[in-house]
Every structure is written in C-alpha cells, then in structure tokens.
Amino acid sequence: EPEVTQTPSHQVTQMGQEVILRCVPISNHLYFYWYRQILGQKVEFLVSFYNNEISEKSEIFDDQFSVERPDGSNFTLKIRSTKLEDSAMYFCASSDLSTGEDEQFFGPGTRLTVL
Amino acid sequence: RKEVEQDPGPFNVPEGATVAFNCTYSNSASQSFFWYRQDCRKEPKLLMSVYSSGNEDGRFTAQLNRASQYISLLIRDSKLSDSATYLCVVKPYNFNKFYFGSGTKLNVKP
C-alpha cells in the first residue's frame, strides 16, 4: 500500500539554526500539507500546496517557514531560524482531491527538538 | 471560538462496551468531515469520512447533523485495540485546509 514517508524521524538542532524537513508524498497525489503537533496539544494546520504554489497557510506559517517541491517526489518544509517553541512533531500529508475524495494520508512525522 | 471542539475525555470503558464521541464545529460552510485516530506519538490515521446520510464501517458509525453543526462517532463492541485518541477533522468549503479538534481519548480496559 502506498504511503507518505518523512525524513529524518528525529532532528535535534540549536536555536537559530535552519532545518529542512523532508517528505515524499504518495506518488499520484497532487495536494500536499504540513502540520505540527506540539507535545500534548492538537494537530495544527501549517500550509497546503498545490500546483507548485501555496494554496493556504495559517497564522503560524510566518516568514520563518517556507515550503518547496524541489523535484517530482520530495516536498520540504524549511524553518529558517529555529526557536525553542518550534519544538514539535511535524507531519506531512497528501491527498488526491481530483477523485472528489479529500481524505488525507499522513506520514509518520519528524520530531523536531530545538535546544 | 474554536473551529472544532471535542470532549477531551478520557473515556474509560470495559471491553465490549458501546461508546459515543461528539464533535461540534463553528463554520457552517464546512464541507467535509472526518474521524481520525491517533495512537500515542504516532501520525493520525483516517478512520472514516462522515457523510450527510451517515455511514457505517463495521463496528464504527459516523453521523453528521449540519443543522446543529455536530458530528458523532459510535463504537460498538469496544476492543482493547480501540484505545487511542479520536480526532474530529473539518474542512471548510472552498478552502484547502483542515481543522483538527483536540481529540477525545479512549481507554478500553479488559
């Protein structure tokens, strides 16, 4: 069964450093998403991406964040200068809205720890 | 006001019990509705979509009441493996973003 994959599974970084989180969505999916979940809190939408551009973003997704689809398979989230409060689980998801079904499928997540 | 609200629980039930979770949403223009389950420190996994006519998948039944902006999930004959957090998810019409509730924790005990 096709699945979304994410790397790394755990990233530890120093405050102020840049990190890039990587995702490989399901191959025939066209819509991609990033979410974050701070420990013990709810899943929060960050950004959605379609046709090589951002379609929606939340208030959390400020200038520190950017997304890119650098090739036909990867979808990345970059945090330019990490803060302690960026420590969270980051989930990538993809969906195939062209079928009329908008269920999302999630990757296993990257746990980001900012020290 | 939160976009999606759920009772956080926990719901502690014995094996074999029937349990129901509720969820309310604030945006009347919401288009799509889902229940996901999330195990501790894992990704959310789709349990079922929720359709206007209500839908059932084995022991799980989902209902949608658009007039009251209310979604429910009923689990019959609970199994130990049903222990998880159940997330209510709502997608507004014409926006490609999804709002998650905080989740309802279910503990099924032997």
Q: What is the pLDDT of residues A7-29, one digit of tens each?
A: 999 999 999 999 999 999 998 89
Going by pLDDT thresholds of 50, 70 and 90, the confidence category of residue B30 is confident
Mean pLDDT of B75-103: 93
A97 three-class SS: helix
Tens-digit pLDDT profile for residues A46-95:
999 998 899 999 999 999 999 999 887 899 999 999 999 999 999 999 99
CB-CB neighbors (< 8 A) of A35 in chain B: 100
Length of chain B as a residue count: 110
Nearest to B98 among A45, A50, A55 (CB): A45
pLDDT at B82 over 70: yes
DSSP helix/strand/coil, A98: helix
Q: What is the pLDDT of residue B28?
A: 79
B90 CA: distance to closest CA in chain A (Å): 11
Q: Is B34 close to A91, i.e. CB distance below 8 A?
A: no
CB neighbours (10 Å) of residue B82? 19
Contacts of B97 in chain A (CB under 8 A): 45, 48, 56, 58
Minimal Cβ distance to B100: which of A42, A89, A107: A42
Q: What integer best gives the mean pLDDT of chain B? A: 93
The neighbour count for residue B103, using CB atoms within 10 Å, is 25
Residue A97, pLDDT > 80, answer no
Contact list, A60 vs chain B (CB under 8 Å) = none
Choose the closest CB to A103 out of B34, B38, B43: B34
Is residue A20 less than 8 Å (CB to CB) from chain B? no
CA–CA distance, B8 with B31 (Å, rounded to integer): 24
Check residue A102 and give its pLDDT: 75
